Amino acid sequence: MAKIGIIGSEGRMGHALAQAIAAAGHELSGGVDKGGDVAGLADRSDALVDFSAPSALESNLHAAIGAGIPILVGTTGLEERHFAAIDGAARAVPVLQTGNTSLGVTLLAHLVQQAASRLGNEWDIEIVEMHHRMKVDAPSGTAKLLGEAAARGRGIDLAAQSESGRDGHTGARAKGAIGFAALRGGTVAGEHSVILAGEDERIILSHSAENRSIFARGAVRGASWLIGQPPARYRMEDVLGL
C-alpha cells in the first residue's frame, strides 16, 4: 500500500483519482489546490500525482525533490520551459509525464507510430479531438502525444511540420504535415481520432474515453510503479510494459 498525494484534488481528475486510489487499496495522503502546502503534502506521501495547471508545475517538482519522492505529471498545456524543468527534476527523483495515463491511448500511440512508419508521406495525417466545454488547453495533451508518435514513425520533427488552427484562406495543405483540429462541447471525457488519408482511402485509428476513471486508474498504477524506481524520466509505456 502506497501513500499517494493529489495536486489538484478538488478538480475533476482529483475526484476521480481519490476514488481510484481507494479502489486500488492505496492510501490518500492528502490533497492540495491553488495556494496549498504542496511541500507538506510531499513530506507525508510516497508519491505525488499532479492534475492541476502548468503554473503549478515548478513548485510541484521542487516539493517532490525536497521530499525525495516520485511525481507523476498528468497536467497538460505544458510548454518547452516546463519540459526542461521536468528533465531537470528527473535527475533527482523518478518523474513520469504524459498527456494521457490510459492503457488504451498508450497502445493507440504505438499503433499510430507503426502506421505512420509504414505509410509514405503521400498519406496525410490529421488528428481530431473533442473534449468537454471546460477544457482550457488545445490541442489536447493526448493529441500532441499522438502527433509525436506519428512524427516518430515518419522520422520528422513535429514542431516543424504541424498545422493547427486553420481558418480563412490557408492555402493547400503542406505535404508531410501533421494537422490538428480541436472541438469543445458538453461533457465529453475525451475523443481522439488519427486519420491517415491517402488516395481514395482512409484509415482512422480512434480512442473514446467513456469517463475519467481510465485516466485515474492509469495514474494510480503509474504512481505506485514509480515508487522505488531510480531517478529518471519515465513514460506510461514503461509502466504498462508495452
Ligand X SMILES: O=C(O)C1=N[C@H](C(=O)O)C[C@H](O)C1
Ligand Y SMILES: NC(=O)C1=CN([C@@H]2O[C@H](COP(=O)(O)OP(=O)(O)OC[C@H]3O[C@@H](n4cnc5c(N)ncnc54)[C@H](OP(=O)(O)O)[C@@H]3O)[C@@H](O)[C@H]2O)C=CC1
> Which residues are annotated as catalytic?
131, 135
190 binds ligand X (CB under 6 A): yes
The position carrying cell 513530506 is 43
CB of 10 or CB of 238, closer to ligand Y: 10
CB atoms within 10 A of CB 68: 11
Least distance to ligand X, CB of residue 120, Å: 28
For residue 75, say whether it is annotated as part of any ligand binding site.
yes
Beta-bridge partner residues of 45 = none
Q: Which of 99, 153, 179, 222 binds ligand X (CB under 6 A)?
A: 99
For residue 11, say whether it is annotated as part of any ligand binding site.
yes
How far is 226 from 70, CA to CA, in rounded Å? Answer: 6
Stretch that binds ligand X, among 40-48, 55-63, 136-144, 158-166 (CB under 6 A): 136-144
Q: Do residues 7 and 41 touch, judged by C-beta distance below 8 A?
A: yes
131 binds ligand X (CB under 6 A): yes
Q: Residue 33's Cα: distance from chain center in Å?
A: 20
List binders of ligand Y among 197-216 (CB under 6 A). Answer: 215
For residue 170, say whether it is annotated as part of any ligand binding site.
no
Contacts of 179 (CB under 8 A, 6+ apart): 124, 125, 126, 127, 162, 163, 164, 166, 173
Q: How far is CA 194 from CA 40, 75, 168, in A?
A: 42, 22, 23
Stretch that binds ligand Y, among 93-101, 110-118, 166-174, 175-183 (CB under 6 A): 93-101
Query: Which segments are annotated as binding site for (S)-2,3,4,5-tetrahydrodipicolinate?
Result: 132, 141-142
Return residues touching ligand Y (CB under 6 A): 7-8, 10-14, 32-34, 36, 51-53, 55-56, 74-77, 98-101, 141, 215
